[in-house]
Amino acid sequence: MRFLAILAAAFLAVSTSASAADPALAPLDSIYPDLEKLSIDIHQNPELSQREEKTAAKLAERLRALGFQVTDHVSGFGVLGILENGQGPTVMLRADLDALPVEEKTGLPYASHVTTRDDSGATVPVAHACGHDIHMAAWVGTATLLSRAKDRWRGTLMMIGQPDEEKGSGARRMLEEGLFKKFRKPDYAIAIHDSAELPAGTIGVTPGYAFANVDSIDITIYGRGGHGANPFKTIDPIVIAARTVVALQTIVSREINPQDPAVVTVGSIHGGTKHNIIPDEVKLQLTVRSYSEEVRKHLLDAIARIAKAEAAAAGATTEPLVKVSAGGPAVYNDPALSRRLLETFQRVFGPANATEVRPVMVSEDFAEYGRAGVPSVQFWVGAVNPRKLEQAKAAGTPLPSLHSSEWAPDREPAIKTAVTAEVSAALELLGKR
């Protein structure tokens, strides 16, 4: 019975939301085949971060055909579309363009078989394993419906096709190169993300902190190498590294308030070349997650402190090298705007299909627009087939997650729900006619 309820709710949300929400959404079913075609095209032809040239060109072409004033090659392959429609607020809708170096294993007839050379020259597979193809198709659908319904709103629609989300620097670079100064600063910014945990046809909103700060840390521990039979003649960096890994876990468990989320993960450790050789150095790679800047600083300071202290305790004569890079800020959804949009989504989809959801420790560079002073909200669009979700819960088996080689969104309900949500949000925030 529970499965039937979820399935019925998801179907109801997708099939009736357009007619129940606003006349602007009425053409959604008729434009969907074109959105599906675009989604499949983008899915089959993914491009890595900072190489989204063909993807960006497809989106720019669509916006021009809809009457938007388009500027392309913004900070690389960024796309900006402006549609002015009288006096009123400026609402920004952002979609991310890039794919991941992942080999797709979904078995779908339109699966990606693309390979390319990465920045190091290695040949890597490429796939939209994070659902950005869904984001872009919905973004085009939203632009299409709003451009056809100019009698329903007034103000300015600002469509941002953003490159380089996966590496975490696309939004920052666009802002540093004058996105809000050369063009205009929006009154509101909105983005979606497909969810591998919510059933298709549903929406999840997280007021306040929604996605985490992320920092990547490289630690090089220096010792004195030698023969494995004579460890007393060495300063063993492998032992220092092992003690460091264990000690790092005490930061979260013993130094951070348990009510402040934090993660310290050692994802890589490399050292040595042979059984009987103690190396001169060992390298660790960490990912560190937090929400508040206070906790973030504490984590980074503590990691450096522990790495240096463990080396000193072992008698190492050279301090470890601790390098912090690839940092990204936490997404903070404006609480008032979050509540306003959640109420809108509940009217459109029904209270059971639009709910408040918990924050997550993954990261998203959409955070940069909020940090630039724009009230912003990024919300989740359910993309899991309800039947598969119910069966997996009953069996206690995990389903593919975002960034998985097997992640395959339930395309049609995900795209239709995303378009419905974006159009409804824009109409709520733009001026009324």
Q: Taking the domains of the chain in order of start, what are their residue ranges?
A: 2-212+330-432, 213-328
Q: pLDDT of 305-323, one tens digit each?
A: 999 999 999 999 999 999 9
- Between CA 42 and CA 58 the distance in angstroms is 9
> What's the CATH number for 2-212+330-432?
3.40.630.10
pTM: 0.92
- pLDDT at 403 > cutoff 60: yes
Average pLDDT, stretch 204-229?
A: 98
Handedness of CA 196, 339, 210, 136 (dihedral sign): positive
- Between CA 226 and CA 232 the distance in angstroms is 9
Please report, rounded to a whole number, the percentage of residues in the chain having pLDDT higher than 70. Answer: 95
Q: Does domain 213-328 have CATH number 3.30.70.360?
A: yes
**Which letter does DSSP use for residue 357 in this model?**
-
- pLDDT at 6 > cutoff 60: no
Strand-strand pairing, 78-85 and 153-162? antiparallel
Return mean pLDDT, the chain.
Answer: 95
Q: What are phi and psi of 37, to 5 degrees?
A: -60, -45
Half-sphere exposure of 423 (CA within 13 A, CB side): 33
Tell me which residue has tokens 């060109």: 57
- Between CA 346 and CA 252 the distance in angstroms is 37
Q: pLDDT of 90-137, one tens digit each?
A: 999 999 999 999 999 999 999 999 999 999 999 999 999 999 999 999
Helices (H), 223-292: 237-255
Q: pLDDT of 257-287, one tens digit each?
A: 999 999 999 999 999 999 999 999 999 999 9
